[in-house]
């Protein structure tokens, strides 16, 4: 029988091959913060409770994380954009401070005030866009998981995960609709709840 870690690596490699990407590295995380995908190192981190999940749930979780691995370029682009944005936000007042003639009081207070105004103006929009983007990426990873596991299996696994508080209602509802459409398409007699 395969060791749990080898089993996980085997599943990840299989899912990555189906989705046409290089298999991400699998790393056992010491913390119990749940599975996650790190685009910087193209790495899926799996904690002990995840390893102990029943097979259908483990498959769903890994398929979802491999789904995130297909988003690596977009995730890295988002990360770079955020870093440039933050750098520009900090650099502007710093340049003003360095170039501003006169007393230190004005050289500090005016760039400082400008920085505070810019943060106050830009942060809500940035936050809203980040949340929206994160939701879209989660739904995309769920769609890939449904492709890999099958919509019904993915939906049933997500229902269990939702009861454990690991998946929100929106994602579950989208998967429910996906499952219904998939079964409609196959003209299955059974229906999704
Ligand atoms: Zn996710």
| Per-residue pLDDT tens over the stretch 81-95 | 999 999 988 888 888
Q: How far is the CA of 73 from the centre of ligand 1 (A)?
A: 15
Cβ atoms of 12 and 24 closer than 8 Å: yes
Confidence label for 183 from pLDDT (cuts 50, 70 and 90): confident
Tell me if the pTM is above 0.75. yes
Nearest to 16 by CA among 87, 85, 64: 64
What is the distance of C-alpha 106 from the center of its chain?
43
pLDDT given for residue 188 in this prediction? 52
Q: How far is the CA of 174 from the centre of ligand 1 (A)?
A: 14
Q: How far is the CA of 77 from the centre of ligand 1 (A)?
A: 17
Q: How far is the CA of 141 from the centre of ligand 1 (A)?
A: 6
């Amino acid at each position: 029988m395969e060791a749990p870690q080898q089993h996980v690596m085997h599943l990840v490699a299989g899912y990555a091959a189906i989705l046409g990407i290089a298999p991400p590295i699998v790393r056992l995380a010491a913390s119990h913060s749940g599975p996650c995908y790190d685009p910087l190192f193209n790495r899926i981190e799996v904690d002990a409770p995840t390893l102990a999940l029943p097979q259908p749930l483990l498959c769903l979780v890994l398929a979802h994380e491999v789904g995130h691995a297909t988003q690596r370029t977009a995730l890295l682009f988002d990360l770079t954009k955020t870093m440039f944005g933050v750098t520009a936000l900090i650099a502007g007042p710093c340049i003003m401070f360095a170039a501003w003639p006169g007393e230190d009081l004005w050289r500090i207070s005016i760039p400082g005030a400008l920085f505070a105004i810019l943060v106050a103006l830009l942060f809500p929009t940035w936050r809203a866009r980040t949340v929206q983007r994160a939701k879209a990426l989660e739904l995309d990873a769920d769609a890939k998981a449904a492709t890999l596991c099958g919509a019904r299996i993915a939906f049933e696994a997500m229902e269990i995960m939702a009861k454990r508080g690991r998946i929100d209602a929106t994602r579950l509802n989208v998967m429910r609709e996906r499952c219904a459409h998939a079964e409609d398409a196959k003209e299955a007699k059974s229906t999704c709840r």
